[in-house]
Amino acid sequence: MKAKNTSPSRLRVAADIGGTFTDVAAFDARQGRLLLGKTLTTPSHLVQGILQGLAKGGIALEEAQLFLHGSTVAINTMLERSGARTALITTRGFRDIYEIGRINRPDSFNLRHRKHQPLVERDLRFEITERLLADGSVHEPLNKAELEKLIDHLAALNLDAVAVLFLHSYRNPTHEQMVRARLKERLPNLFVSISSDLSQEYREFERTSTVVANAYIGPRVDRYLGEIEDKLLQVNFGGQFFVVQSTGGLYALSEAREDCVRMMESGPASGVIGTQVLCEALDIDHAIAFDMGGTTAKAGVVRHGEALVTNSVMIGGYLSGLPLLTPMIDIHEVGTGGGSMATLSATGALRVGPQSAGASPGPACYGLGGTQPTVTDANLLLGRLDPAHFLGGEMALDLKAAQSAMKTQIADPLKMDVTAAAHGILQIAAASMSHAVKGVTTDRGLDPSAFPHLFAYGGAGPLHASMVARELRIPHVIIPRAPGHFSAFGMLLADFRKDLVRSQFVSLEGVKMAQLRDWFSELEQPGLQSASDSGLQFQRMVVQRYLDMRYVGQEHAVTVEISAAALKSPHKALIKAAFDRAHEERYGRGSPNEAAEIVSIRSAISGVMKKPKLEKIATGKAKPLAAALRGKRRAYFGNAGWCLTPVYQRDRLLANNTVRGPALIEEHATTTVVQPGDLLKVDAYGNLHLTIGFDKA
C-alpha cells in the first residue's frame, strides 16, 4: 500500500499475531512514547484481534505512517496441515522426488521412524514433458498440448493452489513462467507458485518442498493479508503496509501475498531483532533471545552483535520435517508455552505440551471451557500470578477452575498434592524450554558458555526465565521493557531487507576476483531496485556478501561472510582463511591445505530506517520507593517452599533499584519471577537484570 497523502504522520504501528495473543505496539514520534495493546487472538477472523489490540492501546491507524505486521499464521498452517488443497506440476520422471527426499536416515536405530510426509499426496502430483540442462539451455521444449490437457484435468479437481517445479529452472525460469501464465489465464482463481520465483539455488528436493509449502500456505496467507489491507482502507489508513520476513527485515505487502514462505517465522524473528538492538544499547556482544508465549517457546542467538541467519530450515524438526530454501533468523522452537497442556501418558508419566489450549478454550483458569491444566494454571496455583491482576486486571483468572483441573487430571492420578503437581509441571516445562536454547547453540557447534546473557520476553518468558537460566547455567537474565509486547516492539525496529542468492559452481582457485565482484554486482541490482521502489526513507544502505563454500569432494557447504577488504583484495587468501575458520567452528576442524570451491553467492541488502529511540527512565536509589510495593502474597519456590513474597509494580521501579529474591515484579502483560538467591537490578532503560543464584532452588 502506498501513502495516499503527504501530510506528516506521527505513528509507526506493528501488530504481531501469535497462537494465543495478538500484540500491538506503536511509537508516537511527536510525544516520544510507546503505545501498547494486547488481546486474545481471534483464529476465525484474525484482523479482529488486531483491531481489538489497537483499541486497547488507544492507537489510531488513520494517523499512522507505517503499519508493520508479522504472525505465526504461515508456520501454524504448515505444522497443523491446515493449508490449501494443492497440486504439484513437475518435469516428467521427477514426480516422486518430493516423497523420496534425501537418502539420509536421521534416526538410524529407530525401527518405527517415519520420514517426512509430503503436503501434496501422490495422486495430485503431475508430470509434464519438458527438460532443461544444468546450464539452463533447453533440452526438450515444454509440451503445450500436454499442458492444456493437464489444465483440463486440474479444473475438475477442486484445487486451491498449484506449485510448479521444473528441473534446473533456477537457471532458466521460462518454462515455469509459461505454465503459470497459462494456469492464470484458464484457472484465474488458483493460487499459483513457481519455484524460480522463490529460489535461485540448486537441490531439487529442497526446491520442490519450498514451492509446495508456498502454494500450500499461500491461499490462507493471501486471504488474511487481504483482509487486513481492506480494513486499513476502511479506516482511512494513508501510510504504507509492510510485512516482516523471517530474517526480521521488511518486505512489501504485494510480495508477501505471493512469496509467503518468507514470513514463516516473522513474529519470533522480530523478537531477535529487538534483542539485537538492546544488545547494541547495552554493549553486549553475545546473547540468547528467549521468547515464551502462550503456545511455544523459541530461542535465537545474537553473536558479535548480529542475529544469526540460516539459509535453509527444516519445518517440523530434523527427523521428519520438510525443508525450506529461504533465509531466516536461526530460531529453534519447542511446543511449550503458557497454554501448553499437562497430560499423563499411558504409563502414567507427566507430560507438558506440545498440545496447547490456545486462545480458545484456553487454560482452565481462563474460564472459557478449558478443563485440562496448563503451565499458566500451574503458575496461578503456585502464587506467581495474581488472579485479579492478569493483563492489568482486564481479565480475571478462575483459581478454583485451575485447582479443580489440576487435582482431577494430574494430582489425584499421581497421588500427590496440587502444589507438587503444579511445581512438577513447571520443572518439566523449564527442561523442555532449555532444549530450544540448546538447539541454537550446542546443535550449531556453538559453546553455550560463550552466551552469558539470556533476554527473556513474551507473555510467559519472564515467569520462567530464572528456572530456564538455572537449567542452562546462564548467570545473567535481562527482561526488557514491555516483554509481553516485545516481538511487536521489535517490528518497530526492523529495516527493509532483500536477500538474493544464485548457485555458482566454481573452484576458488579458478575464479578471478574481478569476476567474483561482477557476479555480486549483477546479483544485487534487483535488490537495490526493490529498495528504491519501496517508497521508504533510508538513512543508509548496507550490503552484506556471503559465499557458500565447501572443500572439494564434500557435499554440504558452509556460508561464509565476505568482508569488503577480502572482496577488494586481488588475492583469495582472505576468503580461504575465512572459510577455514567457519568450517572449524561448525565441524570442529578446518583444512587450510585442502582446495575449496564456491557453491553459491549471496547478498543481503538492507535499507536502514530511522528507529524509535530507547527511552530512559527516572533514576532512584538502591531501595525501591514504598509506592512501588503492591503488597505481599504467598508464592511457592521449590526447596524454599511457600514464601511470603513482596510484589512490586514494574512501572514504579526506577533505575538503580535493587530487589533480592524471592520477589514478583508485575506489569500489564506478564510477571517476572525473582527466585530465592536471585538479585534484580533496574538499568537506565528500565530493563530488569537478574543475576541468578545457582545455590538456591
pLDDT tens for residues 379-397?
A: 999 999 999 888 777 788 9
* Half-sphere exposure of residue 439: CA atoms within 13 angstroms, side-chain side: 21
Cell 569476476, located at residue? 515
Of the candidates 524, 550, 613, 424, the one whose C-alpha atom is nearest the C-alpha of residue 32 is: 613
Contact of 70 with 32, CB cutoff 8 Å: no
Q: Is residue 211, in this structure, part of any structural domain at all?
A: yes
Q: Which one is predicted more confidently, 571 or 694?
A: 571
Q: How far apart are CA 12 and CA 609, in angstroms?
A: 12
Same domain, 522 and 601: yes
Mean pLDDT of the 281-293 span: 93
Q: Whole-model pTM? A: 0.88
pLDDT of residue 208: 96
Residues 55 and 92 in one domain: no
Q: Which amino acid, residue 544?
A: Q
pLDDT at 6: 35
Q: Report which of 421, 428, 432, 374 is spatially closest to residue 401, judged by C-alpha positions.
A: 374
Q: What is the pLDDT of residues 183-196, one digit of tens each?
A: 999 999 999 999 99
Whether residues 66 and 87 share a domain: the answer is no
Q: Which three cell numbers stand for residue 569?
A: 583484495
Q: How many alpha carbons lie under 13 Å from residue 488 in its C-beta half-sphere?
A: 33
What residues pair up with 132 in beta bridges, in sequence order? 138
User: Is residue 266 a part of any domain in this protein?
Assistant: no
Strand partners, 288: 301, 454
- Based on the fold, state whether residues 674 and 661 are members of the same structural domain: yes
Q: Residue 203 domain-assigned?
A: yes
Mean pLDDT for the chain overall: 90
Q: What is the CATH number of the domain that holds 555?
A: 3.30.1490
Helix, strand, coil fractions of the chain, as percent rounded to 5: 35, 30, 35
Residue 395 C-alpha from the chain's centroid: 27
Residue type, 396: A
Domain match, 637 and 662 both: yes
pLDDT of res. 5: 36
Number of domains the chain contains: 5
Contacts of 323 (CB under 8 A, 6+ apart): 205, 206, 209, 210, 312, 313, 314, 315
Tell me: the pLDDT tens digits for 312-348?
A: 888 877 777 889 999 999 988 887 888 889 999 888 8
Instruction: Tell me the C-alpha distance between 411 and 694, whole Å.
Output: 29
CA distances from 497 to 289, 546, 600, 607, 613 (A): 21, 15, 19, 6, 21
Same domain, 89 and 213: yes
**Domain edge (last residue) among 429, 452, 483:** 429
Per the listing, cell 478462575 goes with: 398
Cα dist from 518 to 103, 510, 515, 567, 668, whole Å: 37, 15, 5, 11, 53
Instruction: Tell me the C-alpha to C-alpha distance, in Å, between residue 7 and each of 1, 10, 65, 311, 539.
Output: 16, 10, 10, 40, 20
In this prediction, residue 679 has a pLDDT band, given cuts at 50, 70 and 90, of: very high
576 belongs to a structural domain: yes
Q: What is the pLDDT of residue 4?
A: 39
What is the per-residue pLDDT for 498?
A: 95
The enclosing H or E element of 423 equals helix 418-439
pLDDT band at 1 (very low <50, low <70, confident <90, very high): very low
Using 50, 70 and 90 to split pLDDT, how confident is the model at 111? Answer: confident
Q: What is the pLDDT of residue 696?
A: 56
**Any residues with CB less than 8 A from the CB of 249 and at least 6 apart, and which?**
494, 495, 496, 497, 498, 499, 606
Note whether 34 and 156 are same-domain residues. Answer: no
pLDDT in tens, 617-664: 999 999 999 999 999 999 999 989 999 999 999 999 999 999 998 999
Q: Which residues contact 185 (CB under 8 A, 6 or more apart)?
A: none
Distance CA 118, CA 321 (A): 9
* Spatial separation of the C-alpha atoms in residues 39 and 54, rounded to whole Å: 9
Round to whole Å and give the CA distance between 78 and 93: 27
Q: What is the 3-state secondary structure (H, E, C) of 274-332?
A: HHHHHHHHHCCCCEEEEEECCCCEEEEEEECCEECEECCEEECCCCCCEEECCCEECCE
d(CA 85, CA 100): 21
The answer to whether residue 271 is domain-embedded is: no
Task: Assess if residue 435 is contained within a domain.
Answer: no
Range of the domain at 667: 626-691
Residue 137 amino acid letter = S
d(CA 25, CA 14) in angstroms, rounded, equals 5
- Residue 98 shares a structural domain with residue 197: yes
Residues 654 and 567 in one domain: no
- Please check whether residues 27 and 49 belong to one and the same domain: yes
pLDDT tier at 695, thresholds 50, 70, 90: low
Residue 192 pairs with which residues in a beta bridge? Answer: 162
Across the chain, how many H-helices and E-strands are there? 18, 35
Nearest to 17 by CA among 269, 256, 266: 266
CATH of the domain at 89: 3.40.1360
Q: What percent of the chain has pLDDT over 70?
A: 98
451 lies in a domain? no
pLDDT computed for residue 368 by the predictor: 86
CA 56 to chain centre: 25
* Cell triple for 59: 492507537
Give start and end residues of each alpha helix (H) in 156-203.
Answer: 174-186, 195-198
- The SS3 of residue 126 is strand
At 178 the pLDDT is 97
Has residue 3 got a pLDDT over 80? no
Q: Residue 22 sits in a domain of what CATH number?
A: 3.30.420.40
State how far the Cα of 695 lies from the Cα of 121, in Å rounded to an integer.
54
Residue found under cell 509481553 = 484
In the structure, what pLDDT confidence band is assigned to residue 154 with cuts at 50, 70 and 90?
very high
- The x, y and z cell numbers of residue 541, run together, are 544502505
pLDDT tens, 137-147? 999 999 999 99
CA of 653: how far to CAs of 11, 386, 513, in Å?
A: 27, 19, 57
Question: Grid coordinates 506493528 are at which residue?
Answer: 14
Contact 342, 374 (CB under 8 A): yes
89 and 210 housed in the same domain? yes
Structure confidence at residue 375 as a pLDDT band (50, 70, 90): very high
Report yes or no: 608 and 542 within 8 Å, Cβ to Cβ. yes
Q: HSE (CB half, 13 Å, CA atoms) of 274?
A: 34
My answer on whether 647 and 589 are in the same domain is no
Is residue 49 pLDDT above 50, yes or no? yes
Burial of residue 616, with CB atoms counted within 10 A of its CB: 0-12 exposed, 13-18 middle, 19 or more buried? exposed
On whether residue 589 sits in a domain, the answer given is: yes
